[in-house]
Amino acid sequence: MAGSPKKPNPIDVHVGSRVRLRRTMIGLSQEKLGDSLGITFQQVQKYEKGTNRIGASRLQQISAILQTPISFFFEGAPGSPKEAVPGLSEGEDPAYVVDFLSSNEGIALNRAFVKISDPQVRKKIVELVRALASDGS
């Protein structure tokens, strides 16, 4: 088995992707997160890809820096009950939401959307997006 790379654990991949999601949501670079943790940005990349497992004490540090509860990193994790993910209807895959919110488009859309202060405007945008999505069906 020498020479064959070991596949990352799906939970480690999920937690890493949630670290990336939260980091990008607040506009923090890998370098700045690494500096805050006393590690290189390359190590942050390995955490985010799930290549390197994040230990409990390190996850606690990351949680504090990213100002989010530790439970955030495990929401929608493989093997967790779907009912535990608030806001998702039955049959919806939480990985789809995480994948979208982790994409460049999802991050940009989320950042712009939260800057809209008028709740009526936000509601109209959601209605517009729903109408556009149903047009393609």
- Over residues 75-131, the pLDDT tens digits come to 888 876 654 445 444 445 556 666 777 677 887 887 788 788 888 988 898 888 888
pLDDT of residue 97: 66
Are the CB atoms for 25 and 102 separated by under 8 Å?
no
Q: Say if residue 36 is in the same domain as residue 78.
A: yes
Q: Say if residue 18 is in the same domain as residue 46.
A: yes
Is 53 part of a structural domain of the chain?
A: yes
Is 2 part of a structural domain of the chain?
A: no
Mark residue 37 as left, alpha or beta (left: phi above 0; alpha: psi -120 to 50; beta: remaining): alpha
- Mean pLDDT across 19-48: 93
Q: Say if residue 92 is in the same domain as residue 127.
A: no
Identify the domain containing residue 132 by its residue range: 113-137
Q: Say if residue 125 is in the same domain as residue 69.
A: no
Taking the complete model, does pTM exceed 0.75, yes or no? no
Is 59 part of a structural domain of the chain?
A: yes
- 10-30 pLDDT, tens per residue? 999 999 999 998 898 888 999
